Amino acid sequence: MDKIERKQVVVESFNTDFRRCLNYETLGKDLLNCAEQHANKRGFGVDDITPKNHAWVLSRLTIEMQEMPRMFVKLEISTWVESLYRLFTNRNFEIKEIGGNVIGYARSIWAMIDRDTRQPIELEKLYFEKFHDHILPDYPCPIQPQTRLRPLKDVTPCSEHYIVASDIDYNGHVNSIKYIQFLCDIFSLDYQRQHHLKRVEIAYINESVFGETLSFYKKEIEVNTYQVEIRNTPTNTVVRGLLCFD
Amino acid sequence: MDKIERKQVVVESFNTDFRRCLNYETLGKDLLNCAEQHANKRGFGVDDITPKNHAWVLSRLTIEMQEMPRMFVKLEISTWVESLYRLFTNRNFEIKEIGGNVIGYARSIWAMIDRDTRQPIELEKLYFEKFHDHILPDYPCPIQPQTRLRPLKDVTPCSEHYIVASDIDYNGHVNSIKYIQFLCDIFSLDYQRQHHLKRVEIAYINESVFGETLSFYKKEIEVNTYQVEIRNTPTNTVVRGLLCFD
């Protein structure tokens, strides 16, 4: 079996933003759907690991887009496993316009947990047999790995979101894709009209649940590059991120 | 050409809710995408009407689902034009599980406006030629037409949403699909765990824009049936709706 899984998607008008370009939330879903399809076909998807009471947890996600495709453009998303470690696996993505150029890449890091104890399981030990035919270390993913983000200090919240039912996934936590939208929405419509969001980094630190209020923090660390945080209490960080605009 | 347009979609995991069932927001997008495909192929889609400076405006949408399909279920959505009037056209939908039963229907009413004046245009007069081969008055859509909803009186807001950039579409207004999610989110996770949302009615009254705060109002008019409103000022109603839970 090919080590790379490919999935074609169309940029549908109701998944586009105020510019009629694909939004990051939908792109994030498309990437994760492609990852799911890759894992399902190769024996380490949801249906394979749920009977062992295991679950995949997304730990880091970085997406870098030279441009965002416009309405009705057809895309091919490719994904492959770059490496497998004791507790983590790295999965990369390429985003290409069909009949055109590669327009972006993404990197992700995943852990697997026991659904009862919520503790990470020994991925390399328990799943090496499943993975070893599917690791592709040398396929190019020419974007920088995720930045090591230190906690933000001395910041005050710039906005808030009260968690609602549609934010919540099957595990009872805020859906990991929703945070992509929350991070983009820290920035005003005017700012986003003037600046293309080129790179998004997300580090998932803690879970948040229905009824909590999320507070958003940002700090411009270089021109048009912002470190951001989402907290569910003044001291508990849920997500840390970096957004780089052109 | 067949008067009915069909589109197949898969319920993808990141479009499911806390029950792992398709969410209403994604279903709404799927319906409107199918409608767009129907219109594009028959000469009255976006590409045909934009050069005339016309735009479709969704005026009413009613969706009724016996059940919500679970993750990975394959659906076939069908849509057809039921009728054409002076200023409006009625478009219906059927939602079927592939290899299974019809699980829901939807009804919608559309107007066409001039993009500059924002006034409705004479749909029957200007577009009858385009439509007349594609009207299908007798195909069954066995759900009640939309209720005539009177304004709610003497109500206080039960929650709020500050409009963010990702809510906004190409026309600079809140995306019509977002309101479906806002209406569902008036209800708590606990309530939605206990009650299946069987029927959603939305009447689009006014536009709202970035920077406004939407206030949500609800009134239980029968057991588990709620009339709801979204306003962008205490007296200006943006959306009126009816939500019927089992």
Tell me the pLDDT of chain A (246 aa) as tens digits. 899 999 999 999 889 999 999 999 999 999 999 999 999 999 999 889 999 999 999 999 999 999 999 999 999 999 999 999 999 999 999 999 999 999 999 999 999 999 999 899 999 999 989 899 999 999 999 999 999 999 999 999 999 999 999 999 988 999 999 999 999 999 999 999 999 999 999 999 999 999 999 999 999 999 999 999 999 999 999 999 999 999
Rounded Cα distance between A94 and A66, Å, is: 12
pLDDT of amino acid A81 = 98
A211 CA to chain B: closest CA distance, Å? 9
User: Would you call B11 an interface residue with chain A, using a CB distance cutoff of 8 Å?
Assistant: no
Model-level ipTM above the cut of 0.90: yes
For the segment B51-70, the average pLDDT, to the nearest whole number, is 96
Distance from CA of A69 to the nearest CA of B (A): 14
pLDDT of amino acid A241: 98
Closest partner residue to A185 among B16, B36, B165, by Cβ?
A: B165
Q: Residue B2 above 90 pLDDT?
A: yes
Question: Is residue B18 within 8 angstroms of chain A, CB to CB?
Answer: yes
pLDDT in tens, B96-122: 999 999 999 999 999 999 999 989 999
Domains plus CATH for chain A? 5-131 (3.10.129.10), 159-245 (3.10.129.10)
Mutate to test the interface with A, among B159, B164, B180 (most CBs of A within 10 A): B164
**Are A165 and B18 an interchain contact pair (Cβ–Cβ within 8 Å)?**
yes
Cβ contacts of A32 on chain B, cutoff 8 Å: 13-14
Q: Is the pLDDT of residue B171 over 90?
A: no
Q: What percent of chain B has pLDDT over 90?
A: 95
Taking the C-alpha atoms of residue A94 and residue A102, their distance in angstroms, rounded to an integer, is 7
Residues of A whose CB is below 8 A from B13: 32-33, 36, 46
Of A13, A17, A164, the CB nearest to B166: A17
